[in-house]
Amino acid sequence: MPDPSTNPHTPAGRRGLAARREPDDTDRRIINALQGEFPLSETPFAEVARTLGLGEEEVIARLRSLLEDRVLTRFGPMFQIERMGGAFCLAAIAVPEALWERTVEAVNAFPEVAHNYRREHALNMWFVLATETPEGIVDCARRIEAATGLLVHRFPKEREYFVEMRLEA
């Protein structure tokens, strides 16, 4: 079975990899239009395409290309996982510089890992764990520790805030 962390067509394979190209003006318009209020209908891409003066197939093809070329690393809904019985947790690791690349690859290979960032702090790798059950957080953290040989610090959510974040492409 191929390793998903080396496949650019899987989320694990796209995380942490540089984009292969710069988006053009039409790509930017599509990216900006797809943030936030995605139409809930039988033909959502046709609706987006109409607002942009494009064809539905062009919007879909460009979105696929943006994902394949790693301009975008993810396109999909954001769910409140706790309402479905799952859990989120902020996590951090103190990664020695000599182990950085190996640790990034190991951590990003876990499908439960999202939003992996490097920080200037003793805990220099921060990421979010998202699991199907609250118990899955502990299990995933232990598996990451086994894969990296490094302690995973877990910071469970104490309070939730909604911050709508839209990035201008």
Q: 90-104, pLDDT tens digit by residue? A: 999 999 999 999 999
**Whole-angstrom Cα distance, residue 140 to residue 148?**
12
Does the residue 8 lie in any domain?
Answer: no
Tokens 């990451």 found at: 144
Give the pLDDT confidence of 26-73 residue by residue, as tens digits. 999 999 998 877 888 999 999 999 999 999 999 999 999 998 888 887
Residues 138 and 98 in one domain: yes
In a domain, 127, yes or no: yes
> Domain containing 117: what range?
81-156
Domain shared by 87 and 151, yes or no: yes
- Does 4 map to a domain? no
| pLDDT score for 169 | 65
Q: Is the CB of residue 4 less than 8 Å from the CB of residue 13? A: yes
Residues 151 and 91 in one domain: yes
Is residue 7 over pLDDT 60?
Answer: no
Q: pLDDT tens-digit profile of 103-133?
A: 999 999 999 998 788 999 999 999 999 999 9
CATH number for 128: 3.30.70.3460
Task: Note whether 140 and 107 are same-domain residues.
Answer: yes
Q: How far apart are CA 72 and CA 65, in angstroms?
A: 9
Residue 71, Ramachandran bin (φ over 0: left; ψ between -120 and 50: alpha; else beta):
alpha
Element (H, E) at 52: helix 44-52
The amino acid that residue 23 corresponds to is: P
- Rounded to an integer, what is the distance from CA 16 to the centroid of its chain? 10
The CATH code of the domain that includes 60 is 1.10.10
152 located within any domain: yes
40 within some domain: yes
Report the distance separating Cα 120 and Cα 127, nearest Å.
14
Question: Are 99 and 130 within one domain?
Answer: yes
Examine the domain organization and report whether 97 and 64 are in the same domain: no
What token pair was written down for 155?
Answer: 């910071």
Question: How many structural domains compose the chain?
Answer: 2
Q: Is the pLDDT of residue 13 over 50?
A: no
